[in-house]
Amino acid sequence: MESFIISVALIGIVIVVASLLSGLIEKSGFPLVAIFLVLGAALGPWGLGIADVGFHSPALHALAMLGLALLLFSDAVTLDVKQLKSRRFLIWRLIGPGTLVPAALTALAGRFLLGMSAPMAAILGAALASTDPVLLRTVLRSKALPDAPRIALRLETGMNDILLLPVVLLSMLLLPMGTDATPGMVSGSRVGRSLLGLFVLGPGLGALVGWIGITALGAVRSRLGVRRDYESLYALGLAFTSFSLAEAAGGSGFIAAFVAGLLVAAKDIELCDCFLEYGEATAEMLLLLTFVALGTTLIWLGLAHLDWRVMLFAVIAIIARPVALHPMLAGLNLNKHDRRLIAAFGPRGLSSLLLALLPVFAGVPGSEQIFTVTSVVVLLSIIVHGGGTSVYLRRHRVPEVEPTAEVLVPLSRTAADKEPVKAVEAGEPESLRITLEETRALQAKREPVIIVDARSNRTYDSEPLKAVGSVRLNPDDPVRDAVQQRLSKHATLVVYCA
């Protein structure tokens, strides 16, 4: 009972602290995960002694497995299929050599500098080649980051884990499982089952769950309607269902979660938007809770084993990506500034820790060393990349625009009403809405009318048809956009979002 109360208390603390600090973190660019690692340390045995989460904790096992599955699902859902096609050359550089070369360099450093076996070094290299979307979230949301680096980093964080995960799982096959196992003795049947689960069952079941889920939602949505906030929960349900079904069938639940998310991104844009509006915050809470759990004890264990070899390895792991990636971005129609930003913003964080925990949970002897070394690199990355992100956002901060009551006028049947705009909520009178015929009538009378395209960014980018003469406003910050574009304060705004 006591452990249950502690778990509930930790969840509550994470939600409260994350909510209170969300605005400050967004403005400062300071990494939110650093705060939650410190919070974990304060709650752990070196602080208040409320919680102590070790390698064999069932709570950590559940959090880590679900966290990695949710991370992969979120990565896939945030991908824009049209961007995958139009930027395939950039993706090839980022996900191919841009990911595998740093992983190989890091693995070689682990092999010869730390004396690890080749499979363990490969796992370490793959884990530390993962670019963390949680640490990058603040900078990706900032308007200070140019579009080209934003798209490149979003594509990289959304796709490199799916390439690195098989490296980790296949390398684990070459390691002994349990104290009585013999290194290097891998049966053909075990390899066959693993390959089948990794490349057939996992993707197949993920695609099946995604397809059934999208089809069922479309049928219910067209007949009965579904609330948008519940659609985001529905997306989370698809993630966990695909993971559990694949694991139960002997497949890779992580691959299944990624494929289910990719199918959602390709086939149901509205569901993606709902997930990004509501479900992403829920997913972020779970990932931050994982950081708190790791921060109680485990992530600090590597500091007790610091020596010059570990420190040199950590530096190599941090600089391997920019050194390898920067020259690979040449010839892609990117200016020097954008190339430097893409190469520099490559933090190691929760995704690296979760990949490093997989051999620990599998019972691989000596695999704790992989995690402790990874934790040192992650802590260094939080300082280097988190601090660098904060400095960059401060230097390139977009000035805040103070909204005025006259900026927007109401959507109404006449242009005479000049009161401040009111949000149209479900159940508001129909008089606050306008039809195409009424819009044309206003234009025929030469009334000042501005047609505003307020569709979600994903829908806007994926649909080539635009309303004639429409003005694009970012739905995330329409007031600032209206001010910057100097829209008339005395016109009727006809807003459409579908």
pLDDT digits (tens, 9 = 90+) for 283-319: 777 788 888 889 999 999 999 889 999 999 999 999 9
pLDDT of res. 428? 43
Give tens-digit pLDDT for 378-437: 999 999 988 887 788 777 765 554 444 333 334 333 333 444 434 444 444 444 677 777
CA dihedral over 362, 368, 373, 379, signed as positive or negative: positive
Give yes or no for a contact between 102 and 320, defined as CB atoms under 8 angstroms apart: yes
- More confident call, 281 vs 172: 172
Rounded Cα gap, residues 59 and 290, in angstroms: 10
Region 110-115 average pLDDT:
94
Region 191-213 average pLDDT:
86
Q: Which residues pair with 490 in a beta bridge?
A: none
Question: Residues of 103-113 as b/e, b for ≥16 C-beta within 10 angstroms?
Answer: bbbbbbbbbee
Q: Which domains are present in the chain?
A: 2-395 (1.20.1530.20), 430-496 (no CATH)
The type of residue at 125 is: G
Give tens-digit pLDDT for 211-259: 999 999 888 988 888 887 788 788 889 999 999 999 998 888 899 999 9
- End-to-end Cα, the chain, rounded Å: 49
Region 129-138 average pLDDT:
84
Per-residue pLDDT band at 472 (split at 50, 70, 90)? confident
Predicted structure pTM score: 0.77
- More confident call, 355 vs 493: 355
Give tens-digit pLDDT for 140-166: 877 778 888 888 888 888 888 889 999
Rounded Cα gap, residues 78 and 264, in angstroms: 10
Per-residue pLDDT band at 460 (split at 50, 70, 90)? low
Which residue matches tokens 């979600």?
A: 456
Region 122-132 average pLDDT:
94
Q: Which residues pair with 471 in a beta bridge?
A: 452
Give tens-digit pLDDT for 45-60: 888 888 888 888 888 8
Question: Phi and psi (nearest 5°) for 454?
Answer: -115, 30
Rounded Cα gap, residues 275 and 176, in angstroms: 40
Give yes or no for a contact between 225 and 232, defined as CB atoms under 8 angstroms apart: no
Strand order in the sheet with 471-472: 471-472, 449-453, 492-496
Task: Give every CB contact of residue 298 below 8 A, 6+ residues apart in sequence.
Answer: 53, 54, 55, 60, 371, 375
Task: Give every CB contact of residue 173 below 8 A, 6+ residues apart in sequence.
Answer: 186, 190, 191, 194
Share of the chain above pLDDT 70, in %: 81
What's the per-residue H, E or C state across the chain? Answer: CHHHHHHHHHHHHHHHHHHHHHHHHHHHCCCHHHHHHHHHHHHCCCCCCCCCCCCCCHHHHHHHHHHHHHHHHHHHHCCCHHHHHHCHHHHHHHHCHHHHHHHHHHHHHHHHHCCCCHHHHHHHHHHHCCCCHHHHHHHHHCCCCCHHHHHHHHHHHHHHHHHHHHHHHHHHCCCCCCCCCCCCCCCHHHHHHHHHHHHHHHHHHHHHHHHHHHHHHHHHHHHCCCCHHHHHHHHHHHHHHHHHHHHHCCCCHHHHHHHHHHHHHHHCHHHHHHHHHHHHHHHHHHHHHHHHHHHHCHHHHHHHHCCHHHHHHHHHHHHHHHHHHHHHCCCCCCCHHHHHHHHHCCCCCHHHHHHHHHHHHCCCCCCHHHHHHHHHHHHHHHHHHHHHHHHHHHHCCCCCCCCCCCCCCCCCCCCCCCCCCCCCCCCCCHHHCCCHHHHHHHHHCCCCEEEEECCCHHHHHHCCCCCCCCEECCCCCHHHHHHHCCCCCCCEEEEECC
Least confident of 79-83, 414-418, 456-460, 485-489: 414-418
Give the HSE-up count for residue 98: Cα atoms under 13 Å, Cβ half-sphere. Answer: 28
Rounded Cα gap, residues 332 and 254, in angstroms: 32
Give yes or no for a contact between 213 and 238, defined as CB atoms under 8 angstroms apart: yes
pLDDT of res. 29? 62
Q: How far is CA 388 from CA 21, 315, 347, in A?
A: 20, 16, 10
pLDDT reading at 335 higher than 50 = yes
Rounded Cα gap, residues 227 and 220, in angstroms: 11
* Mean pLDDT taken over the chain: 80
Region 460-477 average pLDDT:
69
pLDDT reading at 1 higher than 70 = no
Region 267-272 average pLDDT:
75
- More confident call, 232 vs 30: 232
Give yes or no for a contact between 454 and 479, defined as CB atoms under 8 angstroms apart: no
Q: What is the dihedral of CA 34, 298, 312, 36, to 10 degrees?
A: 0
- More confident call, 209 vs 7: 209
- More confident call, 404 vs 470: 470
